[in-house]
Structure 1
């Protein structure tokens, strides 16, 4: 009898214990996830941003973590200036590039449709005049070819990921971007060398003067049919020259700091020079489009100056009359030696 009573009490006690512990177990199961999450207790980005916004307005305070290495910059968790840089690089830069480059292309197309090709008014004379030496043309094409590759590879950094993967696939885009980066880094050096030679060769001919004001006032032969006098370089060409020298110099300086960020002045300096490099690049690309237009389809006889080095005499008289007179004076002072009779 006692043993049967004991057999009935034991299951009742177990059942009562389970019923009392069931709410606690259920509550514990609700509090703990079914799988282990090693980052569940870590700080989320949203909390960091809220802490950043809660700081003193306008101070630009950087959120820091704890580190055990000497480099204090490694403790930066969020840098407000980095957020601003990303906004400019991924937003405003695209608008600057689109307005500058596409806007210039639209203007050139409209100008060609309205003005057409600028012809040699008196026709081709057949007499050739040396305008640029072989060395001058070599320097020009070294700078030009480097700039074309630098411009395309630079635009790939800013805009490539939004266009090329959809057209050619991510694998092709990745391979192209890698080689474009190598080309951009190494071709910067011959580009800078060519800029230095270009400055030394032509700076004396590109000093602005009163004659340039008259050239601009009369439209420079581009607007209308009037051809104001000009020396070796007219006001328009002087503008291109200084745009290349100043813009190329800015690209060279900022590019140096991007290649060697140790000298850029920290993260903030690198972000600053990155924006300067991008803006200078797209603006110079737009200027070069205008230069290419005038030197090719925009003006008859202009392309020969940088291909064969010689131009037609009538073209030279119409666009650089004072330079032609200067060359005639030089020829009269230093006549060619007579050739011996055979």
Structure 2
């Protein structure tokens, strides 16, 4: 079969993205309806003259997977057509219903003037399933995830408050991040904020913005957002690579991370400051989440920037099938042949799912790096932090830096109380 139902792939995308999207029906609920044995035995399918049965129709309405080979293969046979002088001979062995069925299953011999991939596909019924997913679960669960993270951060702030220094600032400064590190960080962070905002406009603008500002105002906003999204993506990918090269050696796990994790990083207990190097265990986890999800969203973004040139899912599904993981999870063998349009739809769905996951994680990072912790923002604005801040939050790194002569004397009179 050349095309598989798009809906069967959505649960796989959700599992791979580690988001709480559950398949609407268990994969085991496969309906073979009149099926396989009944037709051979001359049962319900024979009663309808080989056409679909009421059970087939009800199963499709419930979103269950059915065996539709009896329709997929009923597309006529021109090789055995009746002669022109015989009844029905002028149809060439293919009736109108068979022709439309062949178009629906992408089996018709379509001649197209365009040479682009997918130009011969006239009907792609799984596109409606993708559209329903994009307008429904993707917006609902993705938007709900972001709102839930914001609510949890607000609750944490109300309970814990801002994490302040236990002792007065000394007024002496120590270099924490060099200029190239800060450039890399802001290049990636700034571009991601633009990508997140413009992506949300493209995905949610129609149901949420048009009722507020009208179609006339939304149209240029969406058009400009698309241009920004497509071009700022390159800045994000450059920043991602730079950050990886600059910080990968500082984000390798060591024994101090176990102590930090065991004590909750001191986030929930006032006055508790577990030792940490340049990056603590929480920052290291965040770093690898951003690197992995950032690489994934970049690859799917490239696939969308160059339509039909970088198909991802057929080959990926083939590798997954070889591991036996989809079968073990109850999804069965994933499709390894699919129309170009379906490749693009899956790339868009995956791109959005991973982007929502990244936005949720980065919201927490923005909080702790700004209002959540006193003095944290200085590290990425000026590149320097107060000596007291360094001692309390990254004591092992402070000892290494001062041993190497990294401490710089500041204006002692400017020490904060």
Shared fold (TM-score, shorter chain, > 0.5): yes
Which secondary structure state, in structure 1, belongs to the residue aligned with residue 308 of structure 2?
helix
Task: Determine if the alignment matches structure 1 residue 103 to structure 2 residue 148.
Answer: yes
* Residue 66 of structure 1: how far off its partner (Å): 6.1
Gaps of 5+ in 2: 1-55, 73-103, 312-339, 410-417
Q: Give the unaligned 5+ runs of structure 1.
A: 1-48, 337-342
Match of 1:150 in 2: 195
Q: Find the partner of 1:63 among 99, 105, 110.
A: 105
- The equivalent of 1:267 in structure 2 is 341
3-state secondary structure, aligned to 1:262: coil
1:293 is aligned to 2:367: yes
Aligned-partner SS, 2:136: helix
Aligned 8 A contact 2:307 2:344 in 1: yes
TM-score, structure 2 length as denominator? 0.64
CA contact (8 A) 1:154 1:184 kept: yes
Which has a greater percent of helix?
Answer: 1
Candidates 253, 256, 274, aligned match of 1:211: 256
RMSD: 2.7
The question of whether the paired residues in 2 share the 8 Å contact of 1:165 and 1:173 is answered with yes
Deviation at 1:130, TM superposition (A): 0.5
1:247-326 alignment to 2 at 5 Å?
A: 247-265=293-311, 266-326=340-400
Q: Distance in 2 between matches of 1:166 and 1:296?
A: 33
* CA distance, structure 2, for counterparts of residue 58 and residue 123 of structure 1: 73
- CA shift, 1:276, in A, is 1.0
TM-score, normalised to structure 1, is 0.78
Instruction: Provide the rounded CA distance (Å) in 1 between the counterparts of 2:201 and 2:408.
Output: 53
Partner Cα distance (1:166, 1:286) in 2: 26
Select 1:233's aligned residue among 276, 279, 282: 279
Shift of 1:68: 3.0
Q: CA deviation at 1:240?
A: 1.6
Partner residue, 1:40: none
Worse-superposed segment, 292-301 or 159-168: 159-168
Superposed counterparts of 1:157-172, under 5 Å: 157-172=202-217
Structure 1 127/286 Cα, relative in aligned 2: closer, same or farther at 3 Å?
A: same
Q: Is the 8 Å Cα contact of residues 177 and 380 (structure 2) preserved in structure 1? A: yes
CA-CA distance at 1:95 after TM superposition: 2.2
Q: Is the partner of 1:136 in helix, strand or coil?
A: helix
Tell me the secondary structure at the aligned position of residue 227 of structure 1: coil
Q: Deviations over 1:270-329 (max 9, x none)?
A: 111111100111111111110110011100010100001100111111110000011122
Whether the aligned pair in 1 keeps the contact of 2:169 and 2:388 (CA below 8 Å) is yes
1:330 matched to 2:404? The reply is yes
